[in-house]
Amino acid sequence: MLNPEFFDVKKYVDHLIFSNIVDIKRAIDRIRTVRVSGRCYVHYIYPKWHTVSFTLVARKHIQYMKAVAERFIECNINEIDERAFIGFSPTVPIPTFVHPAFYIMSEMMQKRFKKTGVFDKRGYEWWRKKFDRLIAVEVADSDRLSDQAVEIANMFDVIVVPSTFSRDAFVNSGVKRPVRVAPHGLDFEWYLLPNFWHSSLNYMVGQNIWELYQYKQKTGKKLILFWLWHSAGRKGWPEVKRFYEKLRRRRDDVILVLKTYGPNPPELEEVRHLGAINIYGWISEYEKMALFDLAEITLNFSRGGAFELNCLEALGRGKPCLAHRCCGWADYVPDFIAVKKGERVQPLPGNHIHVGYGYTVDVDDAVDKAEQILDNYDEYLAKLEEYKQRVLMSKFNWYVPAIELIKSMG
């Protein structure tokens, strides 16, 4: 199903691994020294008991770390639920990833080493020595971390974050441990599969997305997609609403599509009179691709965040995603679709970890940019296709963070 005409995946992966061979082998040699029943092991702690964004990213890390490591050594990645970590003590020193580190380690400290209200320093030091390397996988949703977060971060040997913005937040907040950037990525299918609506792939979509396609065919409306899974304030809903209201005053050929967790969110009621449409519920990877393919523009108006994978997903499908370049997505959003930043704000006021600032988007500039893109759509699609092939595919696929995670064990 992949289109190999302009990108040879196998050749690329071989080259990527060869380019990092010294650091990869150093890490492999380290974990090779510890064997259990003749096999090498790595522990990866993450939320298994329910599915959240950390779960999805962790599973991709594990999948691609295995794919890289198995070229060199037979190695098991032992997946452990975050709730089991509180009572976890390895019998042999094995590299261990903790994802997300702040919450899991905070729970560990409170329930195991501070349960009487007094820090059990001796017990903690005994437990900590049981790990060959304890590696934090974390994010920074604002430009500064709290003192509590810095204290937790410094308990680890290495911290791995998904963006330059996150790394700078950790370093500038006073974290003394090494901080590595392992950006999120996409499976190559996101880049290489043809547009679902221009091929036979549209049989993979569910009824609600199919009905949205039929609506678009019937009305000729241009779709503006906004993902609102949670945290409406941080995700920039107030700016999205103002943007949509202003854009609709200029033109009546656009419709906002809200992708939400459940039906009829309160935000929908605020724009229902302007024809907004709600697509809700869990959808497959292929349905996500189809939804991006159907929309003309995606909005990433987050006031803060470490990466915002939905924005990369839109670009991976060759579609514009409007965003400023002041947070975690600055690493991959191209200048030619970027919008101006607005006010400096706290994305998570009252949060005890992410205590710093981010930015809103400049709504007027975003409206101007949206009109410019819609009026010159084919030109922007061509520029995005070139950018996808030249930059995104090689720098933002899941092999890249997998290699960085392996190197963090070295």
- Predicted confidence pLDDT, tens digits, the chain (410 residues): 344 456 789 999 999 999 999 999 988 887 776 666 556 789 999 999 999 999 999 999 999 999 999 898 888 899 999 999 998 988 888 899 999 999 999 999 999 998 888 889 999 999 999 898 999 999 999 999 999 999 999 999 999 999 999 999 999 999 999 999 999 999 999 999 999 998 887 778 889 999 999 999 999 999 999 999 888 999 999 999 999 999 999 999 999 999 999 999 999 999 999 999 999 999 999 999 999 999 999 999 999 999 999 999 999 999 999 999 999 999 999 999 999 999 999 999 999 999 999 999 999 999 999 999 999 999 999 999 999 999 999 999 999 999 999 999 98
Same domain, yes or no: 172 and 312: no
- Tokens representing residue 106 in the block: 């905070």
Tokens in use for 397? 């696929």
pTM of the full structure: 0.95
Please report the pLDDT score of residue 37 as a whole number.
59
206/355 same-domain check: yes
318-323 LR contacts (CB < 8 Å, sep 24+): 318/381, 318/384, 318/385, 318/388, 319/292, 319/293, 319/295, 319/381, 319/384, 320/296, 320/373, 320/380, 320/384, 321/297, 322/297, 322/298, 322/361, 322/366, 322/369, 322/370, 323/299, 323/361
Q: Are residues 242 and 161 in the same domain?
A: no
Same domain for 209 and 67: no
Nearest to 52 by CA among 233, 282, 303, 286: 282
- Identify the CATH number of the domain in which residue 78 sits: 3.40.50
- Is 189 contained in some domain? no
In a domain, 225, yes or no: yes
Question: In terms of domains, do 149 and 235 share one?
Answer: no
Rounded Cα–Cα distance for residues 335 and 324 (Å): 9
Q: Is 43 exposed, middle or buried (0-12, 13-18, 19+ CB in 10 A)?
A: buried
The pLDDT, as a whole number, for residue 36 is 61
> Is 389 domain-assigned?
no
Q: Are residues 91 and 220 in the same domain?
A: no
Do 57 and 178 belong together in one domain?
yes
Q: What is the pLDDT of residue 410?
A: 85
Q: Are residues 260 and 357 in the same domain?
A: yes
pLDDT at 48: 97
Categorise residue 268: left if φ over 0, alpha if ψ from -120 to 50, beta otherwise: alpha
Please check whether residue 392 lies inside any domain of the structure: no
Domain count of the fold of the chain:
2
Quick one: tokens of 391? 């930059």
**CATH of residue 301:** 3.40.50.2000
Query: Residue 227's beta-bridge partner residues?
Result: 259
In a shared domain, residues 143 and 202? no
Q: Same structural domain for residues 179 and 200?
A: no
User: Can you give the pLDDT at residue 2?
Assistant: 44
Sequence-distant (6+) residues with CB within 8 A of 116 are: none
| Full residue range of the structural domain in which residue 249 is found | 196-375
CB 363 within 8 A of CB 242: yes
Is residue 89 assigned to a domain?
A: yes
Same domain, 148 and 274: no
Residue 293 to residue 215: CA distance in whole angstroms: 15
Which ranges in 207-308 belong to alpha helices (H)? Answer: 207-219, 237-250, 266-271, 285-294
Cβ pair 197, 190 in contact under 8 A? no
Residues 175 and 314 in one domain: no
